[in-house]
Structure formats: C-alpha cells, structure tokens
Amino acid sequence: MSVDSYLTLPVAALKQAGGYWTAREISQQPQIWRQVTAEHQPRCAALQQFLQPLLATPLLRIILTGAGTSAYIGQALAAHLQQQLQPGQRVEAIATTDLVSNPGLYLDPALPTLLVSYGRSGNSPESVAAVELAEQLVPGCRHLLITCNSQGKLAQFSQQDPERCYLYALPDATHDQSFAMTSSFSSMYLATLLTFAPDNTYLQQLISGAEQLLQHRLAEIKQQAETPCRRMVFLGSGPLQAIAREAALKYLELTSGQILSHYESPLGFRHGPKSLVDAGTQVLVLQSSDAYTSRYDLDLLAELQRDQKALRLDRLSEQQLLGSSSLPDAWLGLLLILWCQALACFKSMQLGISPDNPCPGGQVNRVVQGVTLYPYVKA
C-alpha cells in the first residue's frame, strides 16, 4: 500500500525539501517496533543459549558500546539493565570513541566480558576497532553485535568465531537511508530491552503511544518547531538524560549547526549550564515518569519560569502522551525521542535545510570518515 504523506507532509513536498527519508523513517517506527518484536521471538532460543552461560558468570562485565547516537543507547539503558543482573555483575556504557582512544583504561583482561556493539551500518572505523581491541586485550571476550546492516563489517566479524559471537541483525528497513539515525536508534534500543529486560505490557503501551503521537500530536510539535530560537536545550534525568543528549544531537545535526543545542539533567543544569538561557533559548524538559525524580524536573521548570529569561519553556511527560505514569523511563525514552526527532525534522525544513542531507559539503558524513586507526601496544 502506497503512502502519500509522512509527518502529515505530502511525499512530493518532502522529496522537494530533501526530507523524504527522514520523515519516513521517523514515521515508520511503531510499525518497525512491531516487526522487531515479531522477529525477536524466533531468535529467542539461540540468543538465550548464547547469553545464559554468560549471565550465570560471577563478576561478568557487560559493556554497551557504539559511537555518537549508538553510544547513547547504552547510556540510556545501562542502569536499567544493571537491575536485571546478579550481585557482583555490572553493566557499563562506554563509547567506542573512548575504547579506541584509551583501550588500556577501559578494557580489563581480568574480567569476563560481554561487549554489546551497536552500529547502524556496522562500518564505522571505531566500531570495528573496538571489537578488535577487545579481542586483543580481553581473553575470551564474548560479543553481541546489534546492527541494522547484515552485510556490514560488524556482521562479518560475527562469522569469525560463532561460539563467542552472536549477530543480532535487525530488519533491513531499520538501516536508515537518511543522514541522521532515527528508526535505527530506536530499533537497536528496543532490541536491547527485548534481550535483557523484556516486558510485553510496556511494549504495547509504547507502541500504542507512538501511534497516537503520530496521529494526533504532530501539529503541536510543528508549532514548537516554529519558535524562532537561537539555542535549544533538552533536559532529562536518569535514562532520560541520554535521551536528551540524543535529542540535542538530532536537533544540531538536522539544523546543520545553525541552532546550537545543549543537554543536561535538570539538577545539573543549575551548575553552570543555565548561564546559556537568554531571550533566544527554547527549553524542553523531558519529565520522568518516576514520581520522586519528576519533582526535580518540575522544580527546575518552575525556576526557569520565575526567571522569565527563556524564549519558550515546555515539558513533555508520559501523562501528557499516554494519560498515565506507568512506563519506566528506560521505556518512556523511546516515546520521547520520537517527539524530539519530529521536532528536529520540522525545524530543519523550516530553515530550508535538507533533513536527509543537512551537510552537503561532506564535513560530517552519514558513516564517519577520516579516522586513522593506530595499532595498540601496551606500554
């Protein structure tokens, strides 16, 4: 069945504006999440056969790694996944860009390690280098490779030693064609939850909420995007701080750096970053679904309202989107990032920028280029 519009915008207009793929990939996420869930079921037995011996290992260390947007998956989920582990085991989010530049600081040969690698294309230089360094420095390291490209270098690496590697290849449609990662981010994120912390109730609420957002809230998002800001700030606590970070990156990428974006936690914002708020600053608070945590979110929002310096203040909560507060923040983050992706896409087109290719000069690329990798020799 053909689709004549995405994000309420006609396909012809989106193609003319250079936003077809971005709008399509943002819009497809509820459908893609259903597909990821359906395809997860047949792989469960093999995946658990790979994971269960590891999850029974004392002192197991799980490292969630990726670069840029892919790194933020681990940052959002590490604390949530930690709650699923045995005492003495730990989950850490360490970007490939840190692992590659400082492997001796982050890779411990004495600890049994599962490296969970995220990659849209699976071809970024740091993605490949991180798994190779783990192989070099951590004897017997295991690898869970979550990628949107079954033909990429990460996927190829999994074939070298099937006993120690598991390839979690997502549907081809998650391999975003646009510059910025949208459905690839959320699909790898969801695959991680389904693997380590599945909950069908949360999943159904999430998908239903995303469908409702795309059907009924886009006019509100577009109106937010029409605010003539010079700076954009996203604030979130706990897992939602990483979602705020990803939202800020999407906004920066899709506006080609014309509008500076920033992220922080509501409590951390007072410790210096609040200095950037002026009459050209728009702020969006991603409110936690946790009653305790959200008090800090609302306190900061009230303070900014009293200051009367910001151009615009908004908050986004599960209560507003779903009429309830039952989703843990690790699940709620997927719903909030969908809003922020649409916000960035609308803003990009309002500025006359192509969301699909916001940097036509090639200074920043869809798959990172220009990285020189050096052999690591421990001093």
Co-location of 187 and 209 in the same domain: no
Nearest to residue 128, comparing CAs of 108, 104, 99, 171?
Answer: 99
Say which residues have a Cβ less than 8 Å from residue 227's Cβ, sequence separation at least 6: 282, 311, 312
Distance, in Å, from the CA atom of 330 to the CA atom of 41, rounded to the nearest integer, reads: 21
Q: Are residues 191 and 225 in the same domain?
A: no
Residue 324 has a pLDDT of 80
Q: Which helix (H) or strand (E) holds 373?
A: none
Measured at the CA of 190, the angle between CA 96 and CA 87, to 5 degrees, comes to 70
The answer to whether the CB of 220 falls within 8 A of the CB of 311 is no
Q: What pLDDT is recorded for position 365?
A: 62
Same domain flag for 176 and 74: yes
| Mean pLDDT of the region 238-264 | 97
Q: What is the CATH number of the domain that holds 235?
A: 3.40.50.10490
pLDDT at 362 over 70: no
The pLDDT tens digits for 330-348 are 999 999 999 999 999 999 9
Chain center to CA of 86:
26
Cβ count within 10 A of residue 141: 22
Residue 161 structural domain:
24-196
The bridge status of strand 9-10 relative to strand 5-6 is antiparallel
Among candidate residues 176, 196, 216, the one where a domain is terminated: 196
Instruction: Judge if 69 and 34 occupy the same domain.
Output: yes
Q: For residues 334 and 340, is the Cβ–Cβ distance under 8 A?
A: no
Contact between 348 and 354 under an 8 Å Cβ cutoff? The reply is yes
Average pLDDT over residues 30-50: 96
- pLDDT for 2 beyond 70: no
The answer to whether the beta carbons of residues 290 and 80 sit under 8 Å apart is: no
User: How many domains are contained in the chain?
Assistant: 2
Whether residues 161 and 227 share a domain: the answer is: no
Is residue 28 located within the same domain as residue 100? yes
Return d(Cα 104, Cα 133) in angstroms, integer: 10
Pair 119, 260 in one domain: no
User: What is the tens place of the pLDDT at every residue in 261-314?
Assistant: 999 999 999 999 999 999 999 999 999 999 999 999 999 999 999 999 999 999
Assess whether 125 and 96 both reside in one domain.
yes
Shared domain for 46 and 165, answered yes or no, is yes
What predicted TM-score, i.e. pTM, was given to this entire model? 0.96
pLDDT exceeds 60 at position 1: no
pLDDT tens per residue across span 201-224: 999 999 999 999 999 999 999 999
